[in-house]
């Protein structure tokens, strides 16, 4: 059990957060940047864990749209 | 008093629904120190009770939950009120035009909504802490976390104020508080119960769930909650199942205990309880779910990413309305790249298939609900069996690992041998075999997995 698995080597969460926030129009005050980056780093660690699961990229994703079954 | 007893007494004329509501409102008042309630629906409840009493006087049958008071997490729409979802980010939302489907379903069976309950902000948390409404307190010990995010609903049932309460479970938000409070909890199969009129958090993982005093009440309420909702496009079209009449079955239930990832870190009380549950059901094992830790990682990613997208407009327009425990997590989630969520969805397929293979041999699997009993409110790091866990997240490590599969899971609890606090065990079933899970839970209840209310019944009897 790894509490927070490490992110991929070289992942710069602060730089990524700044760029990605700008790309989607999300204001990111400088005072909050460190906390957002910390959360992104943790998420990157969990994502890295999935990147290491053998054969996962060839798996079919779970969500399936079922035509005719949409009740909306 | 149980829901079954209240309903029987109300129907037999031994007590009126108006009396039940009056006692419940007094009990809610008595439990104010728990900070479990965000709104008491007193006038509505009294009006509804009087309708039920009139129906009974006229020889009618209000339903299986006649006169049974219940509470609902403040994530469920209540007609005429703003659904707060534990957040100031909802302040400017319009009042709900109608009740959530689950509230309508319970009231169709004769139940009476009495209160909306406190919760972790936007359902994003396991601790019952809330920056806007204050923390919910554990009826077993008010200095301890009640668990979350359906904190107030679990607390009210544990305090004996209501016999049934509605919650939601995305990563463990019913199962964690059920375990930390010592009440019966159910996260039904994903898609079994309508989410109509429930504020979404993570649409691909959100479940409507419930708490009750005991397993028979849980089954009674679960049966009443089923029904097709044309407004919920995720709900399954499968026919209803009836759990209540099958609760006392003597048919064999094949069980196994989950090991591997679920072996620790574990407080001794949680380990002992899980082993005792396994012994009571003559469970085999341990069996392993190789992708359990990865499944937890995938759930974490989907939660932060979908939660971030859900609240992106609010994070852009008015971020100061979000509390500090959730705002920056949601911001980070809104920035998650598609590659990470795509792998999480692939892992969902992988682990669901793995679990299905394991469950070819077993009707139910057993696992601890949490790594430890309730922890002090305000705690960030907490040591469990020599491992320091970031406890606001770590308390859900065993529930979050299973939520991805969407299978039905009940929680039974008992008093921990060394801590004296409740500890819970998850009972995991096959998809849409919720009734089997409840049957197994009932057997464990009869084997001692049950805790009485934290507040003496005399207060509201």
Per-residue tens of pLDDT for chain A, all 72 residues: 567 899 999 999 999 999 999 999 999 999 999 999 999 999 999 999 999 999 999 999 987 666 655 544
| A50/B136 Cα distance (integer angstroms) | 35
Interchain pair B301, A43: CB under 8 A: yes
Instruction: Give residue B144's pLDDT.
Output: 98
Look at the block and give the residue holding tokens 């009974």: B56
Give A52's contacts (C-beta < 8 A, 6+ positions apart): none
Give me the number of domains chain A comprises.
1
- E strands, B66-183, in order: 69-73, 112-117, 164-169
- Distance to chain A for B424, nearest Cα, Å: 20
- Distance to chain A for B372, nearest Cα, Å: 15
Contact between residue B450 and residue B422 where contact means Cβ atoms under 8 Å apart:
no
* Spans of chain B below 70 pLDDT: 455-461
Domains and CATH numbers, chain B: 3-459 (3.90.1300.10)
Of chain A, the end-to-end C-alpha distance in Å amounts to 41
| B163/B312 Cα distance (integer angstroms) | 37
Instruction: Give residue A40's pLDDT.
Output: 97
Q: Is B344 on the interface with A (CB under 8 A)?
A: yes
Nearest CA in chain A to B294: A50
Q: Which residues of A touch B233 (CB under 8 A)?
A: 70-72
Interchain pair B265, A49: CB under 8 A: no
Query: Which pair of structure tokens corresponds to residue B93?
Result: 């939302």
Residue range B237-259, pLDDT digits in tens:
899 999 999 998 888 999 999 99
Catalytic member of B7, B11, B73, B116? B73
Contact between residue B18 and residue B53 where contact means Cβ atoms under 8 Å apart:
yes
Instruction: Give residue B356's pLDDT.
Output: 96
Q: Which residues of B touch A27 (CB under 8 A)?
A: 316, 319
| B363/B358 Cα distance (integer angstroms) | 10
Instruction: Give residue A1's pLDDT.
Output: 58
**How many residues in total does chain B contain?**
461
Instruction: Give residue A66's pLDDT.
Output: 66
Q: What is the DSSP string of B120-171?
A: SGGG--SS---TTT----BTTBTTB---SSSHHHHHHHHTTS-SEEEEEESS
Whether residue A48 lies inside any domain: the answer is yes
Whether residue A38 lies inside any domain: the answer is yes
Instruction: Give residue A2's pLDDT.
Output: 63
Interchain pair B235, A71: CB under 8 A: yes
Element (H, E) at B389: strand B387-390
Whole domain around residue A47: which residue ranges?
A: 27-54
Whether residue A71 lies inside any domain: the answer is no
Q: What is the DSSP string of B216-285?
A: HHHHHHHHHH----TT-TTS--PPP---GGGTT--S---EEEE-GGGG-S--HHHHHHHHHHHHHTT-EE
Whether residue A2 lies inside any domain: the answer is no
| B429/B258 Cα distance (integer angstroms) | 12
């Amino acid at each position: 059990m790894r509490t927070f698995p490490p992110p991929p080597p070289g992942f710069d969460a602060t730089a990524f957060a700044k760029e990605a926030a700008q790309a989607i129009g999300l204001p990111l005050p400088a005072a909050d940047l460190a906390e957002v980056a910390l959360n992104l780093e943790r998420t990157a660690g969990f994502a890295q864990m999935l990147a290491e699961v053998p054969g996962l990229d060839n798996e079919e994703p779970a969500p399936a749209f079922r035509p005719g079954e949409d009740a909306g | 008093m149980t829901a079954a007893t209240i309903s029987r007494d109300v129907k037999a004329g031994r007590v009126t629904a108006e009396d039940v509501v009056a006692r419940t409102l007094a009990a809610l008042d008595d439990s104010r120190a728990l900070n479990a309630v965000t709104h008491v629906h007193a006038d509505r409840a009294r009006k509804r009770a009087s309708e039920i009493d009139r129906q009974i006087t006229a020889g009618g049958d209000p339903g299986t939950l006649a006169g049974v008071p219940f509470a609902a997490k403040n994530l469920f729409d209540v007609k005429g009120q703003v659904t707060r979802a534990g957040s100031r980010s909802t302040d400017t939302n319009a009042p709900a035009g109608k009740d959530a489907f689950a509230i309508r379903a319970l009231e169709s069976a004769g139940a009476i909504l009495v209160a909306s309950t406190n919760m972790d902000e936007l359902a994003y948390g396991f601790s019952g802490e809330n920056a806007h409404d204050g923390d919910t307190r554990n009826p077993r010990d008010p200095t301890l976390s009640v668990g979350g995010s359906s904190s107030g609903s679990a607390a009210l049932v544990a305090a004996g104020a209501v016999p049934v309460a509605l919650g939601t479970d995305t990563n463990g938000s019913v199962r964690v508080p059920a375990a930390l409070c010592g009440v019966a909890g159910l996260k039904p199969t994903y898609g079994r119960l309508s989410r109509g009129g429930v504020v979404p958090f993570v649409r691909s993982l959100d479940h409507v769930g419930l708490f009750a005093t005991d397993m028979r009440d849980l089954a009674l309420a679960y049966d009443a909650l089923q029904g097709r909702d044309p407004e919920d496009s995720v709900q399954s079209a499968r026919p209803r199942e009836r759990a209540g009449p099958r609760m006392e079955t003597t048919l064999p239930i094949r069980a196994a205990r989950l090991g591997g990832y679920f072996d620790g870190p574990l407080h001794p009380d949680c380990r002992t309880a899980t082993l005792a549950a396994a012994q009571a059901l003559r469970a085999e094992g341990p069996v392993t779910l190789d992708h359990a830790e990865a499944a937890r990682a995938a759930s974490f990613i989907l939660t932060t990413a979908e939660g971030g997208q859900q609240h992106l407009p609010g994070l852009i327009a008015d971020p100061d309305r979000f509390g500090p425990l959730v705002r920056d997590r949601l911001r980070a989630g809104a920035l998650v790249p598609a590659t990470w969520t795509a792998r999480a969805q692939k892992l969902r397929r992988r682990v669901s298939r793995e679990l299905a293979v394991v469950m070819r041999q077993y009707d139910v699997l057993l696992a601890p609900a949490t790594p430890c009993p309730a922890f002090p409110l305000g705690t960030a790091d907490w040591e469990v069996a020599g491992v320091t866990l970031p406890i606001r997240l770590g308390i859900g490590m065993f529930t979050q690992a299973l939520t991805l599969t969407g299978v039905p899971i009940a929680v039974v609890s008992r008093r921990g041998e060394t801590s004296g606090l409740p500890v819970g065990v998850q009972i995991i079933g096959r998809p849409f075999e919720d009734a089997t899970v409840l049957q197994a839970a009932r057997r464990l209840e009869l084997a001692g997995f049950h805790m009485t209310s934290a507040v003496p019944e005399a207060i509201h009897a």
